[in-house]
Amino acid sequence: MTDKESFYIKLKDSLEDTTSFPADYLYKFIVPTAGDQEKEVEAIFKATAATYDTKFSKTGKYVSVSIELVVESADQVIAFYKKAEKIEGIISL
């Protein structure tokens, strides 16, 4: 089992123990500003009713993207993380 697989298993267990679904969930990502990564993050959530908030780092090299939406299950939370992890340079918080 990879580190990512065990991380997602632990995350799912934790979410199921502490969250009543459907629930509001806040995703936080940091991406470089040099490319289109911010747009790629937003595209993942485009078909949802998510709200977005962005904040640039002091140096302007990175942007923090906060996305809040109602999720139906721990599996849905994880599915969005798995889509996001494919974006180059992304950091999930």
pLDDT recorded at residue 50: 96
Range of the structural domain that residue 10 is part of: 3-92
pLDDT recorded at residue 2: 85
Q: Once rounded to an integer, what is the mean pLDDT over residues 76-90?
A: 96
Q: What are the residues whose beta carbons fall under 8 Å from the beta carbon of 91, sequence distance 6 or more?
A: 29, 30, 31
What CATH number does residue 49 fall under? 3.30.70.260
Query: What is the domain count for the chain?
Result: 1
Q: How far apart are CA 76 and CA 56, in angstroms?
A: 28
Residue among 92, 88, 21, 29 nearest 63 (CA) = 29
pLDDT digits (tens, 9 = 90+) for 10-67: 999 999 999 999 999 999 999 999 999 999 999 999 999 999 999 999 999 999 999 9
Can you say how many angstroms the Cα of residue 93 is from the centroid of all Cα atoms in its chain?
8
pLDDT recorded at residue 4: 87
Q: What pTM was estimated for this model as a whole?
A: 0.91
pLDDT recorded at residue 48: 94
